Amino acid sequence: MVIGIDLGTTNSLAAYFTEDGPKIIPNRLGKNLTPSAVSVDPEGNVYVGETAIERQSLYPDSVARTFKRSMGTDREYVLSGRHFRSEELSSMVLRVLKEDAEHFLGEEVTEAVISVPAYFDDKRRKATKKAAEIAGLKVERLISEPTAAAVAYGLYDKTKDTRFLVFDLGGGTFDVSVLELYHNILEVRAVAGDNYLGGEDFTRVLEKLFLQKCKLTMSELSEKEQVRLNRQAEKAKCSFSDNASVKMSFLYRDQTVEQEITLKEYESACEELLDKIKEPVKKSLSDAGLKLSDVDEVILIGGATKLSVVRDFLIRLFRKFPDTSLNPDETVALGAAVQAAMKERREEVKEIILTDVCSFTLGTEVVVEYEDGKFEDGRFCPIIERNTVIPASHTERLYTVRDNQEKVRVRVLQGESRFAKNNLFLGELEMVVPKGPKGKEAVDVTYTYDINSLLEVVVTAVSTGFSQSLIIKGEENQMTDEEIRERMQELSFLKIQPKDIEENRLLFLRAERKYEESLGEERKRIDYYLTSFEAALERGDKDEIEELRAKLLSILDEEE
């Protein structure tokens, strides 16, 4: 039996396919949702789900939650003196889901289709697969959560072509996907998102608001008091759906502290988070080449979309009422179960071709030669750009840059920055080439990326025909997305000259951001003027700086 699993940040659940369609598998407590929480006691006993959450109130240092956000990183969680990686903790959740499914179905479960956020990069997807293998599950396929949701809504069985936007705001991650259905093909057109935005952040806003009213700070609270406050905030957050105000109270130093918070106050405090939601929506539509008016349906999934502050904001943003006919907590698991049935070629399921896209740009490091004969190394050359439909295979020809150069090194990178060192390093290989004048010898670099997130790199020397290849698994990469963003921002400030001119610094950062948001010719155009502007800043010619600044500003205003 192949089951579908939604391995979530806050809750996880499993489903299976029946003659009547997909059904949720209840856990050992008879509930559909299993909290993604793990606790380990000093004796080495492991507790998963609600039990772990209950233990958190008593033994805060023995419980881990929201560890999905750290998938594929080197972060370790210390529980009762024992160290665990995120994939190890996730494997414990998956093992419980597997055991519950076997008990409910009365047969052994060895295979699963597991959902992952559409914006998960390769290392996070492979960490998820590793977690499943540790739990004793063979992964039939990793399916993007929005795609699973689309399948669950029956969009695979529609009779007319449909474009739709799937808005997925879970406990800890946020995805936006634009999909299109035509005939029996369900194609992902574009994805965008934030691996560090979810319902937990809306809970923290409420915690902060409450503490401000109490004239307290989080650092003044003990670990147990922080856990109690989090529970109260989570409860109050959900209560806003039916109330214009909520009362929050918790025990602080043996005294009950209480405050009333209105929905208006909460909405105001959430403005920064709501603004962060807009960008991935705009980015996904832009990459898909669509306007919001081109979208036929908007689907909400993820538990955080049930929050009134989020739902009201989305109605204003999309200017239409989204489809909420399915429980947003269960949609992804149901879709994963349908996909599992497709893998089993069940007669009850209409066969459909599911396509996906490459979430991040894949490229290599190159040396750039300018018209004045100067060289700049460390630049990023995109080969497969983000949101390219996969499987895909693209080739870029690279030339030697020095006389009598003997080798060409190809560094495989993933990211959106135009500077190589700001992107994720995935691997490298070297190709020997015959000696000769610079620019005479060349290598063809071919990237092939498939539906299972495997990247094959083939480098071929043009003159000799000799080839070398490498399969990139990326498991050695331990840098988180947050660390990459912080590094990129720091480096942007360091590279700006003169640093004391605010308008130049602001324009430079704006151009960097727009470059990362752009693709194709638009990206090349911005890169050209951004590089020229950067060079002018280094030379310090005020008239040249003013001229290029005006030009770059005009281009950015035009593009945006």
Question: What CATH number is given to the structural domain containing 68?
Answer: 3.30.420.40
What pTM was computed for the model? Answer: 0.70
215: left (phi over 0), alpha (psi -120 to 50) or beta: left
Let me know whether 284 and 175 are in one domain. yes
| 113 token code pair | 């289709």
Domain harbouring 215, CATH code? 3.90.640.10
- Which residues are CB-neighbours of 279 under 8 A, at least 6 positions away? 192
Q: Which of 286, 520, 191 is nearest to 383 (CA)?
A: 520
**Is residue 66 included in any domain, yes or no?**
yes
Which amino acid does the sequence have at 170?
Answer: G
Q: What pLDDT is attached to residue 491?
A: 31
* Residue 288 lies inside a defined structural domain of this protein: yes
Question: Is residue 449 a part of any domain in this protein?
Answer: yes
* CB-based contact 49:34 (threshold 8 Å): yes
438 within some domain: yes
Q: What is the CATH number of the domain that holds 438?
A: 2.60.34.10
- Do the beta carbons of residue 451 and residue 390 sit within 8 Å? yes
Same-domain pairing of 73 and 30? yes
Q: Which of 88, 121, 122, 145 is catalytic?
A: 145
Q: Helices 542-559 and 502-517 sit at what angle, rounded to 10 degrees?
A: 40
73, two tokens:
């990183």
Residues 471 and 511 in one domain: no
Q: Read off the tokens for 209.
A: 């608001």
Residue 484 placed within a domain: no
The reply to whether 444 belongs to the active site is no
Total structural domains within the chain = 4
What does residue 356 show for φ and ψ, rounded to 5 degrees? -135, 180
Walk along the chain (560 residues) in steps of 10 and give the mean pLDDT of each run.
Answer: 93 93 91 92 84 83 92 90 90 93 94 89 84 88 86 72 88 89 80 89 95 93 89 90 87 86 94 93 91 89 91 90 89 92 74 73 88 82 87 89 91 90 88 91 90 80 90 49 45 33 65 77 87 81 82 81
* DSSP single-letter state for residue 441: -
468 is a domain residue: yes
Query: Are 334 and 6 in contact, with CB atoms under 8 Å apart?
Result: no
Question: Pick from 421, 337, 344, 332: which is nearest to 376 by CA?
Answer: 421
Same domain, 331 and 379: no
Write out the H or E segment, with its range, that includes residue 448: strand 442-449
Note down the domain range covering 216: 199-271
Cα(480)–Cα(461) distance, rounded to whole angstroms?
Answer: 34
Residues 405 and 540 in one domain: no
Strands 162-169 and 455-461: unpaired
Q: Hey, which bits of 285-423 come out as E strands?
A: 297-301, 353-354, 356-357, 362-369, 375-384, 389-390, 392-399, 407-414
- Based on the fold, state whether residues 9 and 144 are members of the same structural domain: yes
Is the distance from CB of 37 to CB of 56 less than 8 angstroms?
A: yes
Q: Give the span between the Cα atoms of 394 and 57, in whole angstroms.
A: 53
| Beta-sheet pairing, 111-116 with 138-144 | parallel
One-letter identity of residue 336 = A
Domain limit, last residue, from 357, 384, 410 = 357
Are residues 369 and 317 located together in one domain of the fold? no
Domain identity same for 134 and 218: no
Q: Which two tokens stand for residue 254?
A: 């043996």
What pLDDT is attached to residue 98?
95
Which helix (H) or strand (E) segment holds residue 22: the answer is strand 21-25
Active site residue 416: no
| 195 and 119 Cβ atoms separated by less than 8 Å | yes
The pLDDT value recorded for residue 256 is 84
What residues have CB less than 8 Å from 342, skipping those under 6 apart? 349, 351, 352
Does residue 62 sit in the same domain as residue 142? yes
Catalytic site includes residue 421: no
Q: What are phi and psi of 6, to 5 degrees?
A: -105, 105
- For residue 48, the tally of other CB atoms under 10 A from its CB is 24
Going through 63-107 in order, the beta strands assigned E by DSSP cover 63-65, 76-79, 82-85
16 half-sphere exposure, CB direction, 13 A CA radius: 19
> Which residue of the set 121, 168, 200, 416 is catalytic?
168
What pLDDT is recorded for position 352? 64
Residues 189 and 213 placed together within one structural domain of the fold:
no
Calculate Rg over the CA atoms of the chain. Answer: 25
Q: Which of 8, 277, 37 is nearest to 120 (CA)?
A: 8
165 is a domain residue = yes
Give the number of other CB atoms < 10 A from CB of residue 555.
18
- Helix-then-strand count for the chain, H and E: 14, 28
Among 250, 271, 292, the domain boundary falls at 271
**Does the N-terminal peptide bond of residue 146 adopt cis geometry, omega within 30 degrees of 0?**
no
Task: Indicate whether 372 and 255 sit together in one domain.
Answer: no
- pLDDT at residue 89, rounded to an integer: 93
Give yes or no: 61 in active site. no
Q: Is residue 486 part of a domain?
A: no
Examine the domain organization and report whether 231 and 168 are in the same domain.
no
Among residues 252, 271, 290, which one ends one of the domains? 271
Place of tokens 């109330």: 243
DSSP character for 323? B
